[in-house]
Structures are given as structure tokens and as C-alpha cells.
Amino acid sequence: MGYFLGAYAASANVSGWDAQLEADYYRGLAGLAEVKGLEHPFLGQLHQHDDAWFLQHLAPHWDYVFTTIPGVMNALATQPGFGLASTDPAGRQAALDFMQAARQAILKLNQHLGRQAVKAIMLHTAPARDKVAGSAACFMASMQQLLSWDWQGAQLLVEHCDAYLPPQLPSKGFLSLSDELAVLSQLKQQGAAPVGVVINWGRSVFEGRDPAAAIAHIQAAKDAGLLAGLMFSGVSGEDSAYGAWRDSHQPIRNTQAPELGSACSWLTEQEVAAALKAASPVEHLTVLGLKIGVRPVTATVAERLTLLQAQLQILTQQQALITSISPVNGSI
């Protein structure tokens, strides 16, 4: 069925910009049959370094899901009140201006490709509430404004990040999933254009410190009729090259080829299967995919592509297994 790949997290350009290195990487990505499109990072313009380079190196068949989290985190580093849920008026306006720039980038990409290539944009309920207050009411006001703009058919989806749960030290510390679902449910009742929630496995587990938290979040979004996506990204409480309790996109633990995974990741093949089953039928999701980081950071482009291929195969295998035992297919 094909997946969206957050390929930017596995790029060899971990610092600076090497256009040739990235071109080699994109050439390899285009050869990954399981990839139907990219989860594309938005940091203020279409491509962080070079719009023209980006447009030149796209595979013609790819679709796109924009993610605003890299730009949001950059903004929060200098303006703690930045965010669509911010109670700080200047910070909320800055977030709306940022989203307007994202809308222009979507238009630019669609115009270049001559089609509606951007299927969704994933937005986030900043600010970090251990630093500046955020509220559901402010997020509602922002969403109402965003929904009045022309998004070229792209769905507005909230990617849930770990909520602020003191005394736990947050990674993101944004609104709770219950607040996000309450706002989106109200918008849906008001007849808003399609809205929904994307559950990132690793970020939900980071919040709950338990793999069961991801399943609970999937079920809550599904019960609200708002589950629109599922992204697989691992996390672990064990210290490793990926760090303990860090949103560093650990790979799935790989029992067949341990070197092509993360030995301490809480995201196992069994957890992938459980999440896919909880989210079923996944064919109806706008976003389904994988975002992983690569260690060591000195890994070559070829090594990165080999790891991505192995990780995508795990996802494909587990999805095939879930599909084969589904009662819809007449099996038990």
C-alpha cells in the first residue's frame, strides 16, 4: 500500500548542507518501492536550504505530508511563547504567520508538480507548557483561522506530541490529547473541513512511559472519529546512541537483523503489529508511515538506505500479517 517516510530524520546532512550528498540520498530514496511519499519538514520555507534544489530532486510519483515540528521547535528556542495554543498573543500570531508561510510552500510545491501532491499538513499545539501557558481555547481560535484559508486540499492534522505532565520532564510538553480531541470534535460538529489527529508512536510512549500509551491514544482518537494517521518512531528509557527518553526517532527493534534496528527500542515488531491492529483499517488513514533516525551519525548514505529498507520491510510484513488475519478477509 505504500508509506510516508520521514526521510529527513535519516539524512546524512546532520549538520550543514551538502547538496551532492543529499542528491545521492534522494536518488536512493526514489528506489524504495514501499515509499509512496515523504513526510516533509517545514522550517519557514519550502526547503530549509534550497527550494530550487528540492524541486529538482523529487521523485515524480511521491506525495507529501508537511510536518511543522522542526520549525516549531526552532521558533520555541528563541520565542518560548510561540504556538497555536499559546496564551501569549504575540506568540500565537507568530505561529499563525508561520502557518501562512507553510500554506505558501504547499502552493509552490503543488504548482511545480501540477497536481495536489500535498495531502496533509501536521501541526502542533505548542508552546511548551512548562515555560508558557497554552490552552484549548487559544488553539480553537487558531484552528478557526487556519480553516478559513485555502490549503489546496491538504488536510489539517494535529500530530500529538507528549503533553506536559509534571513532574515529568517533557520533550515537547504541548496540550493533552484530550484537549486536542475536544477542540477538533467541536470543529467537526461545526462542519469544519476534514480535521484529524496523527498519533506518533514514540511521542505517545514518551508521554506515558509505556508502550500501552500509544495504543490508548490510537483508541481515543479512533473513538472520537478523528484518527487520521499513525507514524512509527521509536523511543527507549535505556541509554544508547539515541539517548534515554529522547525524541530521537529510534528504529524498530529488528529480530531478523539486529544491526538494522535498535536493540533497546521499545518499538518492537509486536508493538508495530499491535498499533496497526488498533488503528485498523489503516487503508482509510491519510498518513501512515515511518520516521527513524540513524546512528552512528557518520553512517554513509548506502548504510542509511539499507536501514530504511529493512525498517520499511518490517512495517510491510506486520501490515500483511494483520491484513491476513482480519475477519474482513474471512480468516480468524
Beta bridge pairs of residue 68: none
**Residue 200: enclosing H or E segment and its boundaries?**
strand 195-200
The residues facing 231 across adjacent strands are 200, 289
pLDDT confidence of residue 332: 33
| Max Cα-Cα span within the chain | 56
In angstroms, rounded to a whole number, what is the distance separating the alpha carbons of residues 229 and 222?
A: 10
Identify the pLDDT of residue 277: 97
The set of cell numbers assigned to 160 is: 500529538
Alpha helices (H) in the chain, listed in sequence order: 19-30, 51-56, 69-78, 89-113, 136-146, 177-189, 201-208, 212-223, 269-279, 301-324
* Per-residue pLDDT, 194: 87
- DSSP letters for 113-154: HTS--EEEEEE---S-TTTS-B-HHHHHHHHHHHTTS--TT-
Per-residue pLDDT of the chain (332 residues; tens, 9 = 90+): 799 999 999 999 988 899 999 999 999 999 999 999 999 999 999 999 999 999 999 999 999 999 999 999 999 999 999 999 999 999 999 999 999 999 999 999 999 999 999 999 999 999 999 999 999 999 999 999 999 999 999 999 999 999 999 998 899 999 999 999 999 999 999 987 889 999 999 999 999 999 999 999 999 999 999 999 999 999 999 999 999 899 999 999 999 999 999 999 999 999 999 999 999 999 999 999 999 999 999 999 999 999 999 999 999 999 999 887 655 443 33
Spatial contact of 276 and 233, defined as CB atoms under 8 Å apart: no
Distance CA 88, CA 127 (A): 9
Cα–Cα distance for residue pair 324/193, rounded to 1 Å: 34
Domains of the chain: 3-324 (3.20.20.150)
Contact yes or no for 247/217 (Cβ under 8 A): no
The residue with cell 477542540 is 183
**How far is it, in rounded angstroms, from Cα 312 to Cα 289?**
9
Using CB atoms within 10 A of its CB, is residue 91 exposed (0-12), middle (13-18) or buried (19+)? buried
Query: Cα(94)–Cα(88) distance, rounded to whole angstroms?
Result: 10
Task: Specify which residues 121 forms β-bridges with.
Answer: 66, 156
